[in-house]
A and B are shown apart, each in its own frame.
Chain A
Amino acid sequence: MNNLESWEAVIGLETHVQLNTKSKIFTSASTAFGDAPNTHIDPVVCGLPGTLPVLNETVLEYAVKTSLALNLNVAEHCKFDRKQYFYPDLPKNYQISQFDEPLAENGWLEVEIIEKDKETYVKKIGIERLHMEEDAGKLVHSGSDRLAGSKYSLVDYNRAGIALCEIVSKPDIRTGKEASEYASEIRRTVRYLGVSDGNMQEGSLRCDVNISVRKGPNAPFGTKVEIKNMNSFSAIQKACDYEIARQIEVYENGGKIFQETRLWDEAKQLTKSMRLKEGSSDYRYFPDPDLGPIEITKAQKEIWFKELPELPSKKRNKYVSQFGLSAYDARVISDEISMANFFEETVAYGAEPKLASNWITSDIVGYLKSNKLSFSELKLSPENLAEMISMISNKTISGKIAKEILPELVQKNISPKNLVEEKGLAMISDSSSILPIINELITEYPNEVQAFKNGKTKLLGFFVGQLMKRTKGKADPKLANKLLVEKLNG
């Protein structure tokens, strides 16, 4: 443990975000996921001779918006380059990417690290650059999970040419938790912007990790290892933690770390070597002569900047400082922009923020999940939810009744006030209505009353249950308790 503490990990992430434009970055072919192989292709996607790329303008808009959200400086001019290497998933055997003049540089992202039994902290993680590029296709190997050793391989170009933003962090990350939190904040951000669905399982968000360890913050960087193949945030965290421990152990035992690419094995929960990196690859980058220079005017940038929504970190801070939510609750309620907006509107209608957040993140999210619905499909309006919450606060109904009527509210969006009136579900909170029932119970259960008086105080629950049964759950539980105790002891 002492050893572990004297070592420091240095981690950087390369994140590929698939933009959810309808068509691909340089042609009109569809970007739909999950269809039969090679159904979303056209002559441009396949790199047929004589075809030319034309930039999808929406890609530029989405990429600039993402850059602005990540506090990056967007260049006034940039260009596309050809990154050359031979591989069958790359139809032209070069990838149209951006090399020395990326779209945006030098930004940062604020992440919040919440861990059990540890102090919550906020960390600014630097972002080196963001550039646009086209995705490659997918190879399917027969008889092996990779090219080597397979009998034959098939290629599916449905993914080829889908627009990507590659986001490169600075080596500011120190723990697996920070790495996974950085990645999920990127996901949250692009989902807020509506530029990507950030789905790691479907590969629309992919993270490669570069990681090395060194003896303390002033030591020179160690040899870095690249890890790929993590398809969840927890996998990112575990892969980093595993790799940090592995590297420390190697050094502690007098060994050497090789510059290599390792794959995260989810089943075995470990990283294994894929290939050694001998020197750096020569991609023979040069400006793509088929695509002219890209110009982003100040005016255009301003328009796009104004269209940015309030971002997750800002919302979290607001929820804690203005609404008094805990850091954890603020995180949960701000996870999706539609949920956060629903929450804010509910609060604007006068609902108590903490209660509103609880109702939304538990019951409403639960209902949406089990019915596979989104917030936009929810019938319940923030106004009616606020009304229901204030009915609980002012004791018009009990929480239990609220839970009972919620399924009807979320499906119909009717006023909870009307519903409660219609069904006669208002809380009984006057002693004069409850006392006669208590008297009935005392008469009907003399043995239980006696037992209670003899010290079997647990029986209070029995009486509360009976009381609720007779009032169909409408009795004010606090008042009922109080009156029962008084009467039973009397």
Chain B
Amino acid sequence: MNFNSLRKDIIGNNISVKELVNDIFAKIDHKDPEINSYICTTKENAIAQAENIDKLIQNKEKLPPLAGMPIAIKDNICTKGVVTTCASKMLKSFVAPYESTASSKLWSSGGICLGKTNLDEFAMGSSTETSVFGVTSNPWDINRVPGGSSGGSAASVAAGFCAAAIGSDTGGSIRQPASFCGVVGLKPTYGRVSRWGLVAFASSLDQIGPITNTVSDAAEILYSISGKDPLDSTCLDKPVPNYLTDLNKSIKGLKIGIIKECFEHPGLNPEVKESVLSGVDRFKTLGAEIYEVECPRFNDGIATYYVIAPSEASANLARYDGVKYGYRSNECSNLLEMTSKSRAEGFGDEVQRRILIGTYALSAGYSDAYYKKAQKVRTLIRKDFDNAFQKVDILLTPTCPTTAFLKGDFVNDPLSMYLSDLLTVPANLAGLPAISIPCGFDTKGLPIGLQLIGDVLEENKILNAANIFEIDAQVVKNRPLF
């Protein structure tokens, strides 16, 4: 169900957009109870949008670029008049009076909103298990997690419950679930896409991006949602190239750097390593030049990330106090109790753990040793990347050390869970664009992801390489059967 095939059907009048949307909702109604990828669907709205597009087609009017493409939105991205829960008891009934810039650009490009997808509570997790609405299942094996935090988005794309989905990526939350679910996930350069309307987790790392069936679909969505936004001062004022233009360019002579440190990491699953290395061979066959590069601080990313992200989160989540909106405890007789009980009852364990870590890391007497030191390491990691990009055009790593794990495997072992982000967090810390594409399957039949990292604002390079690889490798020939 990629954009080009849908477009052919719609424009060729094989199916109306309304029929298409109805078919998808029928599938969701029938099969999503097993997957639990949606928190809520917006059928009425979707049908109305679909009818508008159908009218345009009937009248042979000019169609906007994403006309009729059914898209799901991660439920930490605000959609006007529809609940935005962040999969938390805290915001279970929160309805934003505004639309995120990214989603509003999708709708004005003709995209059709199907609903809001499941996630780890406040995007904090790597398995979608911390959602107050329950875990999402991996369509390739429903006993396994889809990854996280954009697990609902990735699972819904893999299961065919939408043509594409929007996720957010703070330390790998788009790429890791894309890898686990055998789909494409792109985290753009920090500032490429406006964060207005994205519920903040760690503001200096958060970035919205697409999860799609194909690289070309990711390029289309990126083009539609990128660009300067007066509502977000961290959003870059840089021209948005048409990411489709370079997509099929030959990659002959493209210099790809293999980050030595990640292939040497003891946590890397041998099957994953083997599959990714065969992907490297394929790139070589396709004409790319392969170099080994060193990023000595790459593996320090995870420790750095788990200081900086919780620190920012501890401030970002302070606003949830039961005063203005969201959950308020009934059992309180004074202000202190209202604040502390609302937060204790409204937030889940993982969110509270990260708020506590962040509060500690920023406290007087500790912030030098933790927060400030982490910022210094962050600068060093960025420098490593700068050095690497002096030699090569793009970098290549596995997306994740493992394939999808079983539900419950790490619920009581957060540290092991955090290691799942090992290979994805450095790109967030350095603000770089990175894409995860399927490169193979393990012996259990679970998808394996390969990550390409680009230099700042060089999304076109990684999209080009990923697209050439995807067309040549044809990794995912069949959709998962669940």
Contact = CB atoms under 8 A, between A and B. Distances in A.
Contacts of A285: 362
A289 B318 contact: no
B49 to A, nearest CB: 22
B132 to A, nearest CB: 15
Interface string A222-236: 000000000000000
**By DSSP majority rule, is chain B's interface helix, strand, loop, or mixed?**
loop
A54 interface: yes
A50 B200 contact: yes
A50 B315 contact: no
B70 to A, nearest CB: 23
A49 B339 contact: no
B352 to A, nearest CB: 15
B8 to A, nearest CB: 36
Contacts of A155: 323
Contact of B199 (A49, A280, A282, A291): A49
Contacts of A290: 200, 203, 233-234
Interface residues of B, number: 43
A77 B231 CA distance: 22
A265 B314 CA distance: 38
Contact of A289 (B96, B203, B363): B203
Contact of A47 (B311, B324, B335): B324
B204 interface: yes
Given A88-B323, A292-B233, A49 B84 contact: yes
A91 B324 CA distance: 8
B198 interface: yes
B234 A50 contact: no
Contacts of A258: none
Interface in A292-334: 292
Interface in A40-73: 43, 46-55
B233 A52 contact: yes
A459 interface: no
A52 B195 contact: yes
B318 A50 contact: no
Interface in B394-426: none
B234 A292 contact: yes
B431 to A, nearest CB: 11
Contacts of A48: 96-98, 324-325
Given A91-B319, A284-B363, A289-B312, A50 B96 contact: yes
B315 A88 contact: no
A466 interface: no
B140 interface: no
A86 interface: yes
A92 interface: yes
Given A92-B319, A155-B323, A292-B233, A50 B311 contact: no
A93 B234 contact: no
Contacts of A435: none
B232 A88 contact: no
Contacts of A88: 321, 323, 335
Interface string A181-193: 0000000000000
A49 B316 CA distance: 9
A284 B359 contact: yes
A340 B67 CA distance: 65
Interface in B141-158: none
B375 to A, nearest CB: 9
B197 interface: yes
A94 B97 CA distance: 22
Contact of A286 (B321, B323, B367): B367
A49 B96 contact: yes
B231 A94 contact: no
Nearest to A55: B233
Given A286-B311, A290-B233, A94 B318 contact: yes
B86 interface: yes
Name the residue in A50, A86, A282, A286 with the highest tally of chain B Cβ atoms < 10 Å from its Cβ: A50
A53 B314 CA distance: 18
B100 interface: yes
A47 B319 contact: yes
Given A46-B324, A49-B91, A286-B367, A94 B315 contact: yes
Contact of A86 (B97, B202, B321): B321
A286 B324 contact: no
Contacts of B318: 84, 86, 92-94
Interface string B165-206: 000000000000000000000000000000111111011100
Contacts of B84: 49-50
A93 B359 CA distance: 13
A52 B364 contact: no
Contacts of B198: 50
Interface in A347-403: none
Nearest to A93: B318
Given A286-B315, A286-B367, A54 B232 contact: yes
Contacts of B335: 88, 147, 153
Contacts of A79: none
Contacts of B321: 86, 88, 93
Contacts of B339: 86
A155 B367 CA distance: 33
A48 B80 CA distance: 13
B3 to A, nearest CB: 27
A26 to B, nearest CB: 9
B91 A82 contact: no
Contacts of B325: 46, 48
Contact of B315 (A84, A291, A292): A84
B78 interface: yes
B441 interface: no
A192 to B, nearest CB: 31
B371 A291 contact: no
Interface string B71-106: 000000110000010100001001011101000000
B313 to A, nearest CB: 11
A54 B342 CA distance: 29
A49 B367 contact: no
A43 B231 CA distance: 12
B239 interface: no
A60 B156 CA distance: 46
Nearest to A26: B233
Contact of A284 (B196, B200, B232, B364): B364
A150 to B, nearest CB: 10
A49 B233 CA distance: 16
A93 B100 CA distance: 23
Interface string B101-120: 00000000000000000000
14 contacts: A46-B324, A48-B97, A49-B84, A49-B86, A49-B199, A52-B196, A54-B230, A54-B233, A84-B315, A86-B339, A91-B324, A93-B319, A94-B318, A290-B233
Given A84-B315, A86-B321, 7 more contacts: A43-B98, A47-B319, A49-B94, A50-B77, A52-B195, A53-B233, A291-B234
Interface of A: 43, 46-55, 82, 84, 86, 88, 91-94, 147, 153, 155, 280, 282, 284-286, 289-292
What 4 A-B pairs have minimum CB-CB distances, sorted nearest first?
Answer: A93-B318, A289-B204, A289-B203, A284-B362
